[in-house]
Structure 1
Amino acid sequence: MSEDADAEDLTHTTDEGDVQMVDVGDKPDTNRRAVAAGEIRLQPSTIEAIRDDQVGKGDVLATARIGAIQAVKHTWETIPMCHQIPITNVDTDFDLREDRIECEVAVETTGKTGCEMEALEGVTTGLNVVWDMVKAVEKDNEGQYPETGIESVRVLEKEKRPEQE
């Protein structure tokens, strides 16, 4: 906590120091959108196997899309102070590069709180699914992953627009 902040400034903590969920009941519903991105570094041979649909576990990107969408829908169950929000749309995009896959997840909702945590959960789970699908070909002779890594996970944008009446 910064020197300027005190207990009154903490939205997830009571005056007694107990953790609490923020009450958003009085906030108006707004249309919200958040976009997050990240990437997974892979060996070029793994990227080629994905492109050629030659990964033993199946269609890597189709499975990763499903995982990303499922993660978005279940964010409130994994992030302790997250509200359950009505997800109105999820867009996933996976871009295969020479030595990595870039993932972008856009989430839309109409509600009282934002959806950037949902977008981040979609990205991280989507990339984790890619790793799980390709781990057999990414391992080195000692069973390690020296070239594999999930990186640069971030929120690219978030926006809020009042509902039209």
Structure 2
Amino acid sequence: MTSHLAPDTKEVTVGELAARSGVAASALRFYEREGLIKSRRTPGNQRRYSRDTLRRVAFIRTSQGLGIPLATIRDVLALLPDDRTPTRDDWARISECWRADLDNRIRTLQGLRDSLTDCIGCGCLSLARCALSNPLDELGSRGPGARRLVEKRDPGAAGEGGAAARGDAS
């Protein structure tokens, strides 16, 4: 595989960064406008990125793939040093910033997976007609959204008339 970056180059153009990262140049300019990455301008007003920007772009893309909002990614990237290339320890430290959030997302997705299995198990395949799933839209009286998922994550969210207060299992 041919590298798009010369080994002795300390800076790369937007085109070189795009080719190496697999991210469109327009997306790189967007990341820059959003404060996720930085460049300097040449006397001819061309962008030049430090080589370590490639790692930041990879981190951004991976984080986005996990569903982490750009504002959160920006806040975490701000914890990296500007005066030097981040080390492995720097990356490990910032990766810990959303471990609890990812753990919560995993629990939510597992709950969703388990609920879907139970629902499909009844055989009706229609939540609109299912008398067992939500008779008379009882869940609607407990608030907006996917009540079973919200209440599973936060048992206090059921409110006074909710499953937690009645002792019902969802």
Name whichever structure is richer in strand by fraction. 1
Give the alignment's TM-score, normalised by structure 2.
Answer: 0.26
Whichever structure has more helix as a proportion of its residues is: 2
Greater C-alpha radius of gyration: 2
